[in-house]
Amino acid sequence: MIKPVVRDVFFLKQPSVPASDCPEDRQAIRDLLDTLAANRDACVGMAANMIGVRKQIMVVNAGFVDFILVNPVITAKDSPYETEEGCLSLTGVRPATRYENITVEYLDHNFNPTTRQFSGFIAQIIQHELDHFSGIII
């Protein structure tokens, strides 16, 4: 189900909690995928708090496919750089420090443990959404 995008900074600053393999969190995954699809012209990734769910679930658009990361943790990173980012929940762009290459441990959409390396723009999207989990507003 397509959900409205949360723009309440007070809500967005609250930390998210780990997700679990339960009906509510599986519904949040479906809602994130639907909401990202509905906002594809202005958005390449979403954290669950952007649709009002304070769980560590994100969806990332990787071109031809969207993928889910549940409870992701960066385990390695290198090559920091400065950039500017926008957010569907906020107006304008803001500066951010990101890393070109990251290794992430997470659960996939079936809640299977996965470790994967990401680089470039996909790595940047993941780092932006991870900030949402910590209540960090760029």
Count: domains in the chain: 1
pTM (2 d.p.) = 0.95
Is 82 one of the catalytic residues? no
Tell whether 104 is covered by a domain. yes
CA distance 54 to 52: 6
By CB neighbour count within 10 A (0-12 exposed, 13-18 middle, 19+ buried), where does 44 fall? buried
Give me the phi and psi of 135, to 5 degrees please.
Answer: 75, 20
Which pLDDT score, from 0 to 100, does residue 138 have? 75
Tell me whether residue 21 is in a domain: yes
Residue 37 lies in a domain: yes
Domain range holding 40?
A: 9-133
Note the pLDDT tens digit of each residue in 102-132. 999 999 999 999 999 999 999 999 999 999 9
- What sections of 23-93 are H helices per DSSP? 23-38
Which of 24, 100, 105, 129 is flagged as catalytic?
129
